[in-house]
Structure 1
Amino acid sequence: MNNDPRSHGLWERTAPPAPDTQALRGDATADVAIVGAGYTGLSAALHLAQAGARVTVLEGEAIGFGGSGRNVGLVNAGLWVKPDLVPAALGPERGERLLALLGAAPRRVFDLIAEHRIPCEAQNTGTLHCAVGAKGLADLEDRARQWQARGAPVRLLDAAEAAQATGTRAYAGALLDERAGTIQPLAYARGLGAAALAAGAALHTGSPVLGVTEAGSRWCLTTPGGTLTAEWIVVATNAYTRAPWPEIRAEIAHLPYFNIATAPLSGNLRGSILPGRQGAWDTKPVLTSFRLDAAGRLVLGSVGALRGPGAAVHRAWARRTLRRLFPQAGDVPFEAEWYGRIGMTADALPRFHRLARQVVGFSGYNGRGIAPGTAFGRVLADLVAGRITEADLPLPVSAPVPIGFRAARELAYEVGAQAVHWAEARFPGRGP
């Protein structure tokens, strides 16, 4: 997008075309204005339109331009933090409500894909969280125990089983989550957009919201080409938030994440690497993720930005990692690379905000956007439609609080990842 092959990389090359949309021109009205055409905004638009509401989505760039079109494509259940920490932070009632919602969220994603026949390479075969050493295995044992206590279909694999499931002997074990899976993320976003349009929503791309003013009991949103007046506003911009809600940007730190994809692997290699087609990632702080796409390309990812000196450092890391994890792949060439940013909150938990009268939104997905974004979009639709109240939400209403030392955190994320990947080249005994 925007003539930048590093913005969406492989996903833009292989996704079906986006539905035809135009920028907003002139003055329009709606019951609900949704700002942002990612998973949250499009899910909210789809469910509201199906309920009979007049819905208009305003997107500053293109469908799936933000994290929804750049991520790894792992449809994970739950959150980044361990399950027991959620009720400890939110209280037992809301905490367990949030865990139940997000535990079931992958099922909602795959059901929507089936219902709307979205061509997005969906694989509902689970994901593998891979243990690096004894410490990583202990972490996964704890996670498995906490999820199993809630009845979740997760299973801890030993080293031999993990090797068989992944195709590498680098890991001490792995946690298989049968609720989860993989998709082509940009294709899913575009498919949600098409489904929302088919349900009756309006969707305008190339229409950034420049300002919002009150117009009696309604809101007037201004874009470069026109205005939209609505009773409700759903803010669904997360890490790519711009004006007029700078407080959302202030509460999250940007964590850069990149992916590098190989050319399609041979049939024999596809049979030995992730034979069950699960997506995978490991327990290292500067983690490694890996998955296959429908054509058999191996997509490797990690923390970092493919710009400046980081581009060469992370490319070299990807080549070393491929050789270390999957020496059977040989010197298969890389054919695509891209990166984006993840919105991280101070405690790795998402937020629900009432930014003004009838202006609401979720933010802070902390690297778990696909299933939570889809589920939160449905929750927002229910709230706006009056099917639930704020007391029924999975998160408390909170005011945005600026994250401390945000600029320093963001610099540390980017430079720190470069340093870790650079050091691994010179001290190769530090793990897989």
Structure 2
Amino acid sequence: MLNDERSHGLWAKTAPAAPATERLRGDISVDVAVIGAGFTGLSAALHLAEAGTKVAVIDAVEIGYGGSGRNVGLVNAGMWVMPNDLPGVLGQTHGERLLELLGNAPQSVFDLVDKYEIDCELERKGTLHCAVGQDGLEQLEQRAEQWLARGAAVRLLDASETAAKVGSNAYVAALLDNRAGTIQPLGYVRGLAKAALGAGAAIYTQSPVAATERSGDRWRLRTQSGTVSADWVVVATNAYTTSPWPELRTELLHLPYFNFATAPLPENVRKTILPERQGGWDTKEILSSFRMDRAGRLIFGSVGALRGTGMAIHKAWAARSIRKLFPQIKNVTFEAGWYGSIGMTSDSLPRFHTLAPNIISFSGYNGRGIAPGTVFGRILAEHIAGKVREADLPLPVTRPKEQGLRTIREGYYEVGAQLAHLVGSRF
């Protein structure tokens, strides 16, 4: 994308082409303007358009430019927070409501892929949360117990079962979540865009919103070469927010995350690594993730940015870690490396905001954007249509609150990841 191999890497090379879009020119009038062409914005636009609402999506760059086109591609259920902790943070009503919504969220993704025949390398084989050491095992035992109490399709695997699923003896256990799966994320978000266009939505790219003003009962959004008038505005920009809602950016701490993709592995080696094609990640504080794509490339990632000295440090670390985790790979060569920003909130839970009358947003996915973004987009559409009252939303309505020492902490995480990866391998 934009001739930058480090922005979308492998996904840009292997995703189906994005539907044709143009810059917003002139003045248009719609019922709903959606800012951001990622999972949330395009899901909202698709569901609004299907309901007969006139909707326009406006993106500052292009479809899937932000986290939606850069992430690992794990379609997970729930959030990072332990299930039993959610009611304590959000209150019993919103906590249980959010757990139910996000527990079923991967299936919503799969249903859209099926309905619109989206070419995104979908695998419905689950995901593996892999335990490193005794601390990791205890964490997964708690998570398994809490999800099983809610009837979730999860199972705690022992060391031998984990080794068979992963293709490595590095882990003492793993939590297999059969609700989950993997996709090619840029392919998925481009497929959502195609579906939204087919349902009657308009999509404009290269059109950053510079200002917004109230005009009677409607909002007017101004770009460099055009304006949009709308009754409602959905802000779905998450970690890639700029003006005119900077408070959404300052609420989020940016955590950099990178991925490297190997060349396609030989067939005999490919069969020994994630043979059932689950995606995985581990319980380390500076976690790593791994999965295979359709062509047999191993995609391996962790915290860090591929800029400055980070490129060489993280690339060398990834190669060392892969050799240790999967010794059957004799020669580690990378075809692509890319990175982006994860928007982290202070409590690792997403936010629903009313920024002004009829301007609403979801943000703060904390590394779990695919399934939550898809279902939150649908919820936004249903709320605008009057099908879901504010009192029935899965999150309470809040105002953005800036995180303290954000800039310093972001720098610390980027430098800290380099220092950790400079001398270490995964285990």
Structure-1-length-normalised TM-score:
0.98
Q: 2:157, 2:174 within 8 Å by CA — same for their partners in 1?
A: yes
| Alpha-carbon shift at residue 333 of structure 1 (Å) | 1.3
Aligned pairs, how many? Answer: 427
The aligned counterpart of 2:114 is: 114
Q: 1:163, 1:169 within 8 Å by CA — same for their partners in 2?
A: yes
For residues 424 and 318 of structure 1, what CA distance do their matches in structure 2 show? 10
Q: Deviations over 1:124-151 (max 9, x none)?
A: 1000000000110000000000100100
For residues 416 and 53 of structure 1, what CA distance do their matches in structure 2 show? 47
Q: What's the C-alpha RMSD, in Å, of the aligned pairs? A: 0.7
> Secondary structure of the residue that 1:84 maps to in structure 2?
helix
The aligned counterpart of 1:335 is: 335
The aligned counterpart of 1:132 is: 132
Q: 2:70, 2:339 within 8 Å by CA — same for their partners in 1?
A: yes
**Alignment gaps of 5+ in structure 2:** none
Q: 1:75, 1:182 within 8 Å by CA — same for their partners in 2?
A: yes
**Alignment gaps of 5+ in structure 1:** 426-430
| Alpha-carbon shift at residue 337 of structure 1 (Å) | 0.3
For residues 279 and 412 of structure 2, what CA distance do their matches in structure 1 show? 27
Aligned partner letter, 2:367 = G
Aligned partner letter, 1:421 = H
For residues 270 and 147 of structure 1, what CA distance do their matches in structure 2 show? 32
Aligned partner letter, 2:184 = Q
Q: 1:132, 1:170 within 8 Å by CA — same for their partners in 2?
A: yes
Aligned partner letter, 2:79 = L
The aligned counterpart of 1:147 is: 147
For residues 285 and 224 of structure 1, what CA distance do their matches in structure 2 show? 43
> Secondary structure of the residue that 1:106 maps to in structure 2?
helix
Instruction: State percent identity of aligned pairs.
Output: 63
The aligned counterpart of 2:322 is: 322
Q: Deviations over 1:394-418 (max 9, x none)?
A: 0000000001110111011101111
| Alpha-carbon shift at residue 309 of structure 1 (Å) | 1.0
The aligned counterpart of 1:173 is: 173
> Secondary structure of the residue that 2:52 maps to in structure 1?
coil
The aligned counterpart of 2:285 is: 285
Q: Deviations over 1:279-338 (max 9, x none)?
A: 000000100100000000000000000011111110011110110000101113111000
Matched, 1:182 2:205: no
Q: 2:323, 2:332 within 8 Å by CA — same for their partners in 1?
A: no
For residues 333 and 227 of structure 2, what CA distance do their matches in structure 1 show? 48
Q: Deviations over 1:195-233 (max 9, x none)?
A: 000000000011111100001100000011100000000
For residues 333 and 302 of structure 2, what CA distance do their matches in structure 1 show? 18
For residues 328 and 224 of structure 1, what CA distance do their matches in structure 2 show? 54
For residues 125 and 400 of structure 1, what CA distance do their matches in structure 2 show? 37
Q: 1:265, 1:332 within 8 Å by CA — same for their partners in 2?
A: no
Q: 1:254, 1:410 within 8 Å by CA — same for their partners in 2?
A: yes
The aligned counterpart of 1:363 is: 363
For residues 154 and 269 of structure 1, what CA distance do their matches in structure 2 show? 28
For residues 124 and 111 of structure 2, what CA distance do their matches in structure 1 show? 10
Q: CA 1:327/1:266 → structure 2, altered by over 3 Å: closer, same or farther?
A: same
Q: 2:260, 2:299 within 8 Å by CA — same for their partners in 1?
A: yes
> Secondary structure of the residue that 1:421 maps to in structure 2?
helix
Aligned partner letter, 1:155 = R
The aligned counterpart of 2:70 is: 70
What pairs with 1:243-322 in structure 2 (closer than 5 Å)? 243-322=243-322
Matched, 1:416 2:416: yes
For residues 363 and 63 of structure 2, what CA distance do their matches in structure 1 show? 18
> Secondary structure of the residue that 1:403 maps to in structure 2?
coil
The aligned counterpart of 1:88 is: 88
Matched, 1:374 2:374: yes
Runs of 4 or more above 2 Å deviation: none
> Secondary structure of the residue that 1:308 maps to in structure 2?
coil
Q: 2:265, 2:296 within 8 Å by CA — same for their partners in 1?
A: yes
The aligned counterpart of 1:22 is: 22
> Secondary structure of the residue that 1:338 maps to in structure 2?
strand
The aligned counterpart of 1:39 is: 39
Aligned partner letter, 2:69 = G
The aligned counterpart of 1:398 is: 398
Aligned partner letter, 1:109 = V
Aligned partner letter, 1:227 = T
Aligned partner letter, 2:359 = V
For residues 406 and 423 of structure 1, what CA distance do their matches in structure 2 show? 27
Q: 2:319, 2:332 within 8 Å by CA — same for their partners in 1?
A: no
Q: Deviations over 1:340-394 (max 9, x none)?
A: 0000001101000000000001010000000000000000000011111110100
Aligned partner letter, 2:94 = R
Q: Deviations over 1:211-261 (max 9, x none)?
A: 000011000000111000000000000000000000000100100000000
For residues 57 and 85 of structure 1, what CA distance do their matches in structure 2 show? 35
| Alpha-carbon shift at residue 156 of structure 1 (Å) | 0.3
| Alpha-carbon shift at residue 423 of structure 1 (Å) | 2.9
For residues 194 and 232 of structure 2, what CA distance do their matches in structure 1 show? 22
For residues 145 and 406 of structure 2, what CA distance do their matches in structure 1 show? 34
Aligned partner letter, 1:406 = R
For residues 286 and 27 of structure 1, what CA distance do their matches in structure 2 show? 47
The aligned counterpart of 2:388 is: 388
For residues 333 and 256 of structure 1, what CA distance do their matches in structure 2 show? 23
The aligned counterpart of 1:428 is: none
Q: 1:8, 1:70 within 8 Å by CA — same for their partners in 2?
A: yes
For residues 413 and 81 of structure 2, what CA distance do their matches in structure 1 show? 18
For residues 388 and 162 of structure 1, what CA distance do their matches in structure 2 show? 41
Q: Deviations over 1:70-129 (max 9, x none)?
A: 000000000011111111101111101000000000000000000000000000100000
Aligned partner letter, 1:194 = K
Q: Deviations over 1:5-41 (max 9, x none)?
A: 0000000000000001101000000000000000000
Aligned partner letter, 1:249 = R
